[in-house]
Amino acid sequence: MTMQSWTTTTPVGPLSVITDNGVVIASGFRELSDTRSRLADQASAIAPAERIDGVSDAVLAYFAGDVSALDDVPVTQPGGPFQQQVWSAMRGIAAGQVWSYSELATKAGRPSAVRAAASACARNMVAPFVPCHRVVRSDGSLGGYYYGLDTKQWLLDHERG
- Given a contact cutoff of 8 angstroms between Cβ atoms, the answer to whether 122 and 144 are in contact is yes
CA distance 63 to 30: 16
Say how many residues make up the chain: 161
Rounded to an integer, the average pLDDT of 119-123 is 96
Can you give the pLDDT at residue 68? 97
Can you give the pLDDT at residue 2? 83
The catalytic position among 12, 108, 132, 155 is 132
Can you give the pLDDT at residue 38? 84
For 81-160, CATH gives: 1.10.10.10
| Domain positions in the chain | 3-63, 81-160
Checking if the pLDDT of 69 tops 60, the result is: yes
Task: Examine the residue annotation and report whether 121 is marked as an active-site residue of this protein.
Answer: no
Q: What digits encode the pLDDT tens for the residues 20-67? A: 999 999 999 999 988 988 887 655 678 999 999 999 999 999 999 999
Can you give the pLDDT at residue 5? 96
Rounded to an integer, the average pLDDT of 114-128 is 96
Give me the phi and psi of 153, to 5 degrees please.
Answer: -65, -40
Can you give the pLDDT at residue 109? 97
Higher pLDDT, 43 or 122: 122
